[in-house]
Amino acid sequence: MTQDVTVPDIGDFSDVPVVSILVSVGDTVAAEDPLIELESDKATMEVPSPAAGVVKEIKLAEGDRVSEGALILILEGAGASDAPKPETPTVAPAPAPAAAPAPAVTDAGFGKAHASPSVRAFARQLGIDLAQVNGSGRKGRILREDVTKQLKATAAPVASGAPAGGMGIPPIPAVDFSKFGPVEDVEMPRIKKLSGPALHRSWLNIPHVTHNDEADITDLDAYRKEMDTQAKEDGYRVTLLSFVIKASVSALKTHWEFNSSIHPDGDKLIKKSYYNIGFAADTPGGLMVPVIKDADRKGLVEISKELMTLSKAARDGELKSKDMQGATFTISSLGGIGGTSFTPIVNAPEVAILGLTRSKIAPVWNGSEFAPRLMQPLSLSYDHRAVDGALAARFCVTLKGLLGDMRKLMW
């Protein structure tokens, strides 16, 4: 029996180039084995096999451009005809490139290595020579995990403690914790495996500074509660984050440096005239960062509804690649959990991130007496190459003014 294998639903992408064919005629494949790799200007996607079988005929070539429904190959084998249709390919957004240039890598290893374009790009960003990497994927294919493993190996010191090359960062010595009590190894969620190297790279490459401040949100929160009461009747919620997103856009317009990225040559800033706000969403598998696109063109109601929709998709594991790309500024809110301040890590190539912790009632001097006010802590981390301390303080003053007088949000 045979089955036609076609390109499944790939979201809003169409006319996408085939950058790699991962199988050959006669190959035996298992269900979920990758067949081809597609790469748009936004993401790299592997199309999995819908069932086990033998590749009888390949119907496209590298360089072909395909859309949903395009015929990939003919699969032959028992049970192929009643196998389920392939699911939407899993897209693992590549971590944003670090602003600092990566170490030079020779092209020899890249020319012979069996790796996808996204993995090659990842290796170049980390300065890893693929010729030195052992692939753990099918037919020796090099995976992202293999590159990360090689990074750790090159960072390890040789005998006598001297760095072995690569990043040259001595690792934390291994400890046999079982000597002290019962232990077990628990696999990290896939999200943390993917985001970990990106966060590590950002922390190593960006000179982080965090500016802490407080905003008086007493009046804003009273108005928010009024909006939320009506919103609940209409099936959505209005949270403080909606107002902070709206206020952040206004502050970004006033202080454009926070909405920029450092140019690859290191001596210019790329000024962006669009405002896409990422927000950290807590999910069972770890933090994900959906993006509110064109937040400057949306009102509080529209932002609130989109926040709810994207947050639910994140918790349910239904976010698509396009939902997590293109952010120019990110907000990480821990307000529902607690805390007084923290140092969020800048998500390169962005140059700033705003952290929120739980608001609290505090006595504030109003000129004649202390009055109870609802104060919102703000933790603004920024890339000191793009932003200096004075500008960070001005940004927070602007943001505080907007949150303290909700009428300004309507300007």
| 253 lies in the same domain as 237 | yes
Using CA atoms, how far apart are residues 353 and 252, in angstroms rounded to an integer?
A: 12
pLDDT at 98: 40
Residue 403: its pLDDT value, please? 97
Tell me: do 218 and 355 sit in the same domain.
Answer: yes
Look at residue 82 and tell me if it is in a domain.
Answer: no
CA neighbor of 74 nearest in space, from 88, 54, 89, 47: 54
Same domain, yes or no, for 267 and 321?
yes
Asked, for residue 277, whether it belongs to a domain, the answer is yes
Q: What is the CATH number of the domain that holds 161?
A: 4.10.320.10
Position 210 scores a pLDDT of 98
Which residues of the chain register pLDDT less than 70?
12, 40-44, 78-112, 116-118, 121, 125, 138-139, 152, 154-169, 410-411
Measure the CA–CA gap between 268 and 193, rounded to whole angstroms. Answer: 32
Within a domain: residue 181? no
Domain residues for the domain of 70 are 2-76
* Cα 96–chain centre separation: 7
What the block records as the tokens of 261 is 């990225």
298 and 381 inside one domain: yes
225 and 275 both lie in a single domain:
yes
Inside any domain, residue 87: no
Indicate whether 57 and 104 sit together in one domain: no
| Claim to verify: residue 10 and residue 70 sit in the same structural domain | yes
Neighbours of 126 (CB within 10 A): 22
Distance CA 65, CA 14 (A): 8
Q: How many CB atoms lie within 10 A of CB 367?
A: 5
The three-state secondary structure class of 325 is coil
Are 195 and 217 in the same domain?
no
C-alpha atoms less than 13 angstroms from C-alpha of 232 in its C-beta half-sphere: 6
Task: Count CB atoms within 10 A of the CB of residue 271.
Answer: 10
CATH number for the domain harbouring residue 372:
3.30.559.10
Do 283 and 347 lie in one domain? The reply is: yes
Q: Can you read off the two tokens belonging to residue 374?
A: 């609802």
**Domain closes at, from 76, 100, 115:** 76
CATH code assigned at 7: 2.40.50.100
What is the structure's pLDDT at 236? 95
Q: Is 384 a catalytic residue?
A: yes
Question: In total, how many domains does the chain have?
Answer: 3
The pLDDT value given to residue 155 = 54
| Rounded CA separation 209/381 (Å) | 5
Position 180 scores a pLDDT of: 94
Asked whether residue 388 is domain-assigned, the answer is yes
- Domain contains 178: no
Which of 289, 95, 125 is CA-nearest to residue 193? 95
- 115 with 72, same domain: the answer is no
Are 343 and 375 in the same domain? yes
Q: Of 208, 211, 263, 384, which one is the catalytic site residue?
A: 384
Shared domain for 310 and 196, answered yes or no, is no
Would 179 be classed as within a structural domain?
A: no
Q: Which residues contact 36 (CB under 8 A, 6 or more apart)?
A: 18, 20, 21, 22, 23, 46, 47, 60, 72
Asked if residue 84 is part of any domain, the answer here is no
pTM reported for the whole predicted model: 0.63
Question: For residue 112, what pLDDT is reported?
Answer: 58
d(CA 98, CA 252): 22
